[in-house]
Amino acid sequence: MSAAPTAAAPAPPSSTAAGVWRPRKTLRRWLGWAFQGLTIVSTLLGLALLAALLFDVFRDGAGQVDGHFLSSYPSRFPEQAGLRSALLGTLWMLGLTAVIAFPLGVGASIYLEEYAPDTWLTRFIQLNIANLAGVPSVVYGLLGLGLFVRWFGLGRSVLAGSMTMALLILPLIIVASREALRAVPDSLREGAFALGATRWQMVRRTVLPAAAGGILTGTILALARAIGETAPLITIGALTYIAFDPQGPMDLFTVLPIQIFNWVSLPQKGFADLAAGGIVVLLLVLLIANAAAVALRYRMQRRLQ
């Protein structure tokens, strides 16, 4: 900001006739271009890094991904091994975590934004939720181990793992949903009230549809984090070698990141390629989930219009 006035400042005394305003159009235009160039470079840098990462992973791993890889259980022979149990475990966990965390997170954010009075207690709660979003994931793992695995007696089940993950991503969902709700202009709320709507009708018919896009985006980003987390699941005792499909929420399970981690740490060379293949599958699961969310959001927005 400080550079702009200097550039456009009155001409120095050495210049021509006193008081003639010189716009210095070339310099200002040049500065504008330079700034634009910088922003493009920063965009491209991020994209280039992502492309390099994807290229590297796909080069090593894409050849591994085939029907056999997806439908086989782990094996001590790299060429026979697959990640069926880990993939199913990840899908189970993803689904259960979404079912648990989404209503709780959106509910909490609606209360905080639309109902809660603006008191010190509310502000205190809000501050703590924001802080919880920064707590290391291992801490949630320890909480899950004590609370869900041992106290609730859920054992090392998919349900215990999903509940732990739901705890982990709840603050993220709440923070993102609150931002989305806050972005809904008050004029919409006032309009609804003016038409005689109750607070519940106003939230359901006006605010929620308008905020749905932001809420869904926040939830998907939070779930994406849950897919990649390993530490809390290892803490609650998710297993490494599983050669059967999870039969229900109370069954034992493993997930893709744990399977990848396990393959990376084995001495035999073939497993490193399998790990790359596992990463490709993990990325695909993530991309499919994201695409589904984008499609859902698009449909909701169109309905709103």
Partner 1 sequence: MRKISRRRMLRAAGMGSLAAAGAAALAACGEAQAVTKEVPVERAAPQIVEVTAPPGPMQGTILVDGSSTVGPVTQAVAEEFQKQFPNVRVPVGISGTGGGFKKFCIQETDISDASRFIKSGEQDLCAANGVGYIELPVAIDGIAVVVNPQNTWIGDSISVDELTRMWAPEAEDAVTTWGQIRDGLPDEPLLLYGPGTDSGTYDYFTKAVNGEEGASRGDFTPSEDDNVLVQGVAGDAGAIGFFGLAYYEQNKDLLKALQVDGGQGPVFPTVDNVLSGAYAPLSRVILIYVSTQAAERPEVQTFIEFYMKNAANLVGSVGYVQLPDEMYETALQRFEERKTGTVTALEGVSATPNSVMEAWKAGA
* Count of residues engaged in binding partner 1, rule: CB under 8 A: 41
* List 91, 133, 221, 239, residue binding partner 1 (CB under 8 A): 239
Residue 240 DSSP symbol: S
57 versus 101: smaller Cβ distance to partner 1? 57
Tell me which residue of 104, 219, 221, 92 sits closest to 161, measured CA to CA: 92
Q: Which of 244, 295, 298, 299 binds partner 1 (CB under 8 A)?
A: 244
In this chain, which of 46, 63, 103, 185 binds partner 1, going by CB under 8 A? 63
243 interacts with partner 1 by CB under 8 A: yes
Torsion angle of C-alpha atoms 137, 140, 144, 147, degrees rounded to 10:
170
The single-letter code of the amino acid at 179 is E
Stretches 101-109, 136-144, 182-190, 267-275: which one binds partner 1 (CB under 8 A)? 267-275
| Pick from 74, 20, 125: nearest CA to 274 | 74
Query: Smallest distance, Å, CB 272 to partner 1?
Result: 8
> Do residues 82 and 73 touch, judged by C-beta distance below 8 A?
yes
- How large is the greatest C-alpha to C-alpha distance in the chain, in angstroms? 88
- With CB under 8 A as the contact rule, the residue among 109, 262, 274, 278 that binds partner 1 is 262
Q: What is the distance of C-alpha 9 from the center of its chain?
A: 46
- When the beta carbons of 63 and 136 are compared against partner 1, the nearer one is 63
Answer yes or no whether residue 124 interacts with partner 1 by CB under 8 A: no
CB atoms inside a 10 Å sphere around CB 16: 7
What type of residue sits at position 204?
Answer: R
Does 252 participate in binding partner 1 (rule CB under 8 A)? yes
Nearer to partner 1, 157 or 177 (CB): 157
Closest by CA position to 237, among listed 134, 146, 170, 171: 146
Q: Between 170 and 209, how does the x/- string for binding to partner 1 read (CB under 8 A)?
A: ----------------------------------------
Least distance to partner 1, CB of residue 259, Å: 12
> Are 223 and 97 in contact, with CB atoms under 8 Å apart?
yes
Q: Considering only residues 73-112, where is the footprint of partner 1 by CB under 8 A?
A: 73-77, 79-80
Q: What is the three-class DSSP state of 157? A: strand
Q: What is the C-alpha to C-alpha distance for residues 23 and 3, in angstroms, rounded to an integer?
A: 15
User: Taking the complex as a whole, how short is the minimal distance between the CB of residue 117 and partner 1, in angstroms?
Assistant: 34
Residues near partner 1 (CB under 8 A) are 33, 36-37, 40, 43-44, 47-48, 51, 54-55, 58-59, 62-64, 66, 73-77, 79-80, 237-244, 252, 254, 262, 264-269
